[in-house]
Amino acid sequence: MKLAYFLKDKSLELDPRVLGLLADLGAAGFDVYPSCSSSEIQEGTGMLLSFGGDGTFLSAAALAVEADLPILGVNFGRLGFLSENKPESVADALSCKDYSIQSRGLVQVSGLSGGDGPQLALNEICVLREGAAMLGVDVEVDFLPLPTYWADGLLVATSSGSTAYSLSAGGPICLPDSKVLIITPVAPHNLNVRPLVVPDDSEIKIRFRSRDALVRLTADNRNYDVASDSTLVVRAVPGALKRVVLGGSNFIGALKARLLWGGDVRNQNE
């Protein structure tokens, strides 16, 4: 089988761990080659490997969706929540077919200014104030208006993104196969607003109250300027990403190992 790999950090090209993994994959009979765009994906390719940390995985995920390939994250970064697999364990697992493929939902935003079309994200869509003035964010869920969020911004996260920006902003943790979207305010000024979990078939409309001309929008690690009079429409795209999970990996284990969930001296023997 052919394997493409995505490597964003050029300093890793000569990293002994990367070279060792490429050698191991070649010895296991895989035809491995680098790719940074869908035009470079060769016919017969069965999987995309992401070499790096979670930021690299987000960039590689966009390529995987465009090329309709399952993606495996190999951790050469720090946290490694999405790119959870150690390079030493990848070649044997793939050669023994000790893996499964899980579907992950994405979130899509349309209504961007400047001619930008709809954008997809694995973790979250986020709008943030561009200037010093507080941002008012009006949100409708299936045409039902929520109270205005007065905050630095607001994000709409997938269940996969529940452990990313949304978590640091006070959002809940959701299992990755939960069919939900999470609406989370960023540094809200009104104390009586909280994150809201909605079904993933909801249509979410976002409008702004701002004295500044522009609002900054991020779709994972991509940035866009949005006019403050824009109306954004956010929807889920269920099952759009295929993620390769090696045998033995599980979400609860990742929470414990990487986010130190339950990190209490009373739980050390569990």
Report helix, strand or coil for 102: strand
Query: How many helices and strands, by DSSP H and E, does the chain display?
Result: 5, 17
Provide the pLDDT for residue 269. 67
Confidence label for 148 from pLDDT (cuts 50, 70 and 90): very high
Query: How many other β-carbons are positioned within 10 Å of the β-carbon of residue 144?
Result: 8
Give CA torsion, residues 257, 174, 244, 100, to 10 deg.
Answer: 100
- Asked if the model's pLDDT at residue 265 lies above 90, the reply is no
- List, in order, residues 6 or more apart from 194 with CB less than 8 Å away: 170
State which residues form the domain around 232: 106-239
**Calpha distance 196→143 (Å, rounded):** 16
Listed residue (239, 235, 238, 258) closest to 70, CA to CA: 239
Provide the pLDDT for residue 100. 94
Number of separate domains in the chain:
2
Provide the pLDDT for residue 264. 76
Do 157 and 208 share a domain, yes or no? yes
Tens of pLDDT, residue by residue over 39-70, are: 999 999 999 999 999 999 999 999 999 999 99
Do 144 and 89 share a domain, yes or no? no
Do 84 and 33 share a domain, yes or no? yes
Do 191 and 76 share a domain, yes or no? no
Do 170 and 187 share a domain, yes or no? yes
Across the chain, what does the average pLDDT equal? 92
**Calpha distance 235→77 (Å, rounded):** 31
Provide the pLDDT for residue 191. 81
Residue with tokens 């507080």: 134
Do 233 and 256 share a domain, yes or no? no
Do 130 and 232 share a domain, yes or no? yes
Q: What is the CATH number of the domain that holds 169?
A: 2.60.200.30
Query: How many other β-carbons are positioned within 10 Å of the β-carbon of residue 239?
Result: 13
Q: What is the pTM for the complete model shown?
A: 0.91
Do 234 and 252 share a domain, yes or no? no
Q: What is the CATH number of the domain that holds 42?
A: 3.40.50.10330
Tens of pLDDT, residue by residue over 201-260, are: 999 999 999 888 789 999 998 999 999 999 999 999 999 999 999 987 788 888 888 888
Do 88 and 132 share a domain, yes or no? no
Active-site pick, 24, 31, 54, 138: 54
- 54 classed as catalytic: yes
Do 92 and 110 share a domain, yes or no? no
Do 221 and 164 share a domain, yes or no? yes
Do 37 and 124 share a domain, yes or no? no
